[in-house]
Amino acid sequence: IGDLIKQINAKLAGHYRYYGVTDNSNGIHAFGYRIRRKILEVLNRRSQKNSLTWEGFAKLEERFPLVNARIYVNIYG
């Protein structure tokens, strides 16, 4: 899981740096939420039952944190 999160963080950081401009904060935050949902879905596919809940995913994210979305370029100033 650590290697998976490391690769996802590299891709997320690149995405946030490219799209992290002023007035796009809602979009990149929504993208980060969708990525978290997809990771939870992929990790739940490892067995026949849903073994990972949002609470369990939050504990997993404490150990392997994902990159936070932020604005890198302010086009107004």
Query: What average pLDDT score do residues 20-44 get?
Result: 93
Say whether pLDDT at 39 is over 90.
yes
Where exactly are the structural domains of the chain? 1-63
Cβ-proximal residues to 2 (8 Å cutoff; 6+ apart), any chain: 64
Say whether pLDDT at 49 is over 80.
no
- For residue 2, what pLDDT is reported? 92
Query: What average pLDDT score do residues 37-61 get?
Result: 89
pLDDT band at 45 (very low <50, low <70, confident <90, very high): confident
- For residue 47, what pLDDT is reported? 74
- 61 or 45: which leads in pLDDT: 61
